Amino acid sequence: MKTLGIFRHAKSDWNDARLRDFDRPLNKRGRVGAGVMGKHIRDYGLENLVGWKRILASPAVRVTQTIELAGEAAGETPPITWDRRIYLANSATLIEVLREQDGDPRSIMLVGHNPGLEDLIFDLVPDDGSNPLRDVVEDKFPTAAYAVIQLDIENWADLAENCGRLVHLVRPRDLDASLGPDLND
């Protein structure tokens, strides 16, 4: 059994049209959301922020800032493996990155972007009507959302479609109503 955490970057700033997408920072709401989610990840019983055996992340500015602020709020500075392939990756690429993990850590947290993270959840968790959390993700996996999937595999190399069960899902608005959706979320 393996555990996969999925953490989408917090709300980013679109105000400076001169910036490349990769270089967009978090906006004010994103900075608040990253901190709220960092505390939640720390307090959630399955794994704390540093308890994840491996954290793989996109090196995009909005992801690095999300992790930094989440870590500060949690009072922890986790070690990160930055992987450029995660930046705007689709589900197939994310699965490939996970399958390549050596040492077979029992848990990995993946921090990145949509639509890849959302699609990864859809690919790993069966659409059989038995998981109401999956239905919530079908509605939306918003910025700074955090999900945990239990995987019925012994080795990361064995990662396959429909091998997971979504056991936890929290969105920033679930913890702070002021972080609720708006038209740009």
Residue 74 lies in a domain: yes
pLDDT digit string (tens) for 113-123? 999 999 999 99
Q: How far apart are CA 77 and CA 14, in angstroms?
A: 27
Residue 185 lies in a domain: no
Do 163 and 121 form a contact (C-beta atoms < 8 A)? no
Do 128 and 122 form a contact (C-beta atoms < 8 A)? no
Residue 183 lies in a domain: no
Number of domains comprising the chain = 1
pLDDT digit string (tens) for 34-68? 999 999 998 876 555 556 778 999 999 999 999 99
Do 4 and 164 form a contact (C-beta atoms < 8 A)? yes
- Provide the residue range defining the domain that includes 135: 2-14+22-178
Average pLDDT of adjacent 10-residue blocks, the chain of 185 residues: 96 90 96 94 66 89 96 85 97 98 92 98 95 94 96 96 96 88 54
Q: Give me the CATH number covering residue 56.
A: 3.40.50.1240
DSSP H helical ranges for 44-82? 61-74
Do 12 and 25 form a contact (C-beta atoms < 8 A)? yes
